[in-house]
Amino acid sequence: MKKGDKIIWDSGFGYEIGYFIEDSENKMYNSFKVELITGVVQEETLISKDEIIPYTKESQEQMSNKYGYSKAFSEIF
């Protein structure tokens, strides 16, 4: 992934969407620095690599089906 790529954080309890900032292995083992734009924590934070997936229409639909709610980036802007 590269800076600015859209991501989904699947915590196992729900999901949030945001942007990839950087691979943070040098700062904290096995984590990515991301900027979350939904949820309680709407800021840059470190998330386990195992919980981050690239945002696609298909991955967003899978999360919506898995958790029963929808969070998505606008297709208009």
Residue 72 lies in a domain: no
What pTM was estimated for this model as a whole?
0.88
Residue labelled with tokens 């790529």: 5
> Considering the domain boundaries, does residue 14 fall inside one?
yes
pLDDT value of position 53: 97
69 located within any domain? no
Question: Is residue 74 included in any domain, yes or no?
Answer: no
Number of domains within the chain:
1
Residue 75 falls inside a structural domain: no
Query: Does residue 13 sit within a domain?
Result: yes
Beta strand 44-48 with 31-36 is antiparallel
Instruction: Provide the domain limits for residue 52.
Output: 1-34+45-56
Note the pLDDT tens digit of each residue in 1-28.
899 999 999 999 999 999 999 876 656 5
In a domain, 63, yes or no: no
